[in-house]
Amino acid sequence: MFATIAQEEFVKKREAMVWSLSQRFKDCKLLTPPLLGYDRQRDAAGNYIKYAPLKVNESEANIVRFIHVDEDEVA
């Protein structure tokens, strides 16, 4: 009995995930969070430009450099 309930919950969760992904693709939303240290270009309407190169955000890039600094450089 518990296996049947678990299976039904699995099916419901899968359907919700598939619906969520299809809505995101339809709305042209990214599936990942923004990258720290980079900005995406937007068009005049404020929408992201598909396949546009990322631009370095220097204020955030300094944070990334600090996080990934080579230990030999610090010593």
User: In this predicted model, what pLDDT tens digit does every residue of 10-67 receive, in sequence order?
Assistant: 999 999 999 988 888 888 776 677 889 999 899 999 888 888 898 999 999 999 888 8
The pLDDT value given to residue 26: 85
Q: Which helix (H) or strand (E) holds 38?
A: strand 38-39
32 or 4, higher pLDDT = 4
Q: How many domains does the chain have?
A: 2
Residues 38, 56 contacting (CB under 8 angstroms) = yes
Domain limits at 71?
Answer: 32-75
pTM: 0.48
* Residue 72 and residue 43 share a domain: yes
Specify whether 66 is located in the same domain as 47. yes
Residue 75 in this model has a pLDDT that exceeds 60: no
Largest interatomic CA distance in the chain: 62
| 6 and 38 assigned to the same domain | no
Q: Do 36 and 25 belong to one domain?
A: no
How many Å apart are CA 32 and CA 14, to the nearest integer?
A: 19
Question: Under a CB-based contact definition with an 8 Å cutoff, are residues 64 and 37 in contact?
Answer: yes
pLDDT the model gives residue 56: 93
